[in-house]
């Protein structure tokens, strides 16, 4: 199964890591550590997909051309 790209960056102002999935607009999460941010973005991804299905919206497919490193 293909995976979505995850973009992560550190926010020094708030001392947190912020993770997002570019293919899923608005799908973001944060954590005090990289590991926590990754766990939180997985939860956010599932909730994003669930809400899109409930609203009858199309779920974007993962895009390997838009890959980022963590």
Place of tokens 């051309």: 65
Contacts of 61 (CB under 8 A, 6+ apart): 2, 23
Per-residue pLDDT band at 63 (split at 50, 70, 90): confident
Assigned token pair, 8: 């992560």
Per-residue pLDDT band at 64 (split at 50, 70, 90): low
pLDDT tens column, 16-59:
999 999 999 999 999 999 999 999 999 999 999 999 999 999 99
Helical (H) or strand (E) element with 31: strand 28-31
pLDDT for residue 30? 98
Whole-prediction pTM: 0.84
Per-residue pLDDT band at 2 (split at 50, 70, 90): low
State the virtual CA torsion across 11, 33, 28, 68 in degrees, nearest 10: 80
User: Exposed, middle or buried by CB within 10 Å (0-12, 13-18, 19+), for 22?
Assistant: middle
């Amino acid at each position: 199964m293909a995976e979505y790209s995850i973009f992560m960056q550190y926010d020094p102002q708030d001392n947190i890591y912020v993770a997002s999935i570019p293919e899923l607009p608005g799908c973001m999460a944060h954590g005090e550590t990289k590991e926590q941010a990754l766990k939180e973005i997985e939860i956010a991804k599932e909730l994003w997909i669930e809400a899109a299905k409930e609203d009858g919206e199309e779920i974007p497919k993962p895009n390997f051309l838009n890959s980022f490193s963590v």
